[in-house]
Amino acid sequence: MSSNDRPRPIVIKYGGNAIVDVELTRKILNRIVKLQNEGYKIVIVHGGGPFIKQNLELAGIKSEFIGGQRKTDSKAMKYIEMSLKGEVNGKIVREINLLGAKAVGLSGKDGQLAIAKRRYHYDENNRQVDLGQVGDVEKINTEIIELLLDNNYIPVIATIAAGSDGNDYNINADNFAGFVAAALNADELILMTDVDGLMMNPDDDATIITELKTNEIEDLIGKVIKGGMLPKTEACKYAVDNGAERSIIINGTKPDLIEAAIKKQDFLGTIITK
């Protein structure tokens, strides 16, 4: 099947409280399987911060954060990979399979799906700080994803990838999902978080920004877009500017929103377009 004949897939970045709550996870995955049964092609990209934190603590490894990012040495990387691939990925795949669909667990390392590059943090004096095995996506190869979608599988991707330097890297799940959505020319990138969307005032739900153009994002950085919303809006912008039709930030604790967003119905969330 040529890329022109393929229905445009939906990329869902799955995380936040939704990934920890077992009942909520089942409800969300149930919606995703229902949508796949209706003919939608869905790719799931996930992180797993709470699981990483728990396993590093159990291993007695202290986490050092620099600019909100966990500094990662080779010892920590071992437990991060164990958490993401062995625990979170396996659970999501198992639940989808129990619901009667066919899921396949992957990471960026499988089939050279993703190539990573080392990510650096820059401090307030613009000095470069090495974060260890923390990476950004350099390149996505969609071949294995498209092969699975064409055969009615749901790819479930953990956000770890190898770099051309021979190291493995842990990659921010928003960043990873944005690159996957762009490379697949996705119909939508859906980022699930713990709030209803991007707010003009984070303390006031009534100030939600329901629609945003990618060229309006830069002016809001530091004023409206900060903290955890920075990587989310960056991922949304990258996806839309590089091939995806639109990006959406929704509250992952409200499973009905997934179906409404995918079917382009009325729903609460932030829609980002070109």
Q: pLDDT of 181-224, one tens digit each?
A: 999 999 999 999 888 999 998 888 889 999 999 999 999 998 89
Would you say residue 4 lies in a domain?
A: no
Q: Looking at the 3D structure of the chain, how many domains does it have?
A: 1
43 exposure class (CB count in 10 Å sphere: 0-12, 13-18, 19+)? buried
Nearest to 228 by CA among 15, 4, 5, 12: 15
**pLDDT score at 124:** 80
The contacts of residue 98 (CB under 8 Å, 6+ apart) are none
Would you say residue 31 lies in a domain?
A: yes
Q: Return the CATH number at 134.
A: 3.40.1160.10
What whole-number distance in Å separates Cα of residue 180 and Cα of residue 130?
Answer: 25
What whole-number distance in Å separates Cα of residue 32 and Cα of residue 99?
Answer: 10
- Mean per-residue pLDDT pooled into runs of 10, the chain (274 residues): 69 84 93 96 94 93 84 93 94 96 97 94 85 94 97 97 94 96 98 91 89 94 87 95 97 92 91 96
pTM score of the predicted model: 0.94
Would you say residue 120 lies in a domain?
A: yes
Q: What's the Cα-to-Cα distance from 187 to each of 40, 190, 247, 271, rounded to whole Å? A: 10, 10, 9, 13
Would you say residue 2 lies in a domain?
A: no
Would you say residue 44 lies in a domain?
A: yes
**Residue environment code for 195-224, b if the CB has 16+ CB neighbours within 10 A, otherwise e:** bbbbbeeeeeeeebbeebebeebeebeeeb
Q: Distance between terminal CA atoms of the chain?
A: 28
Would you say residue 262 lies in a domain?
A: yes
| Domain assignment of residue 159, given as a range | 10-273
Would you say residue 1 lies in a domain?
A: no
Residue 97: other Cβ atoms inside 10 A? 14
**pLDDT score at 2:** 44
Would you say residue 5 lies in a domain?
A: no
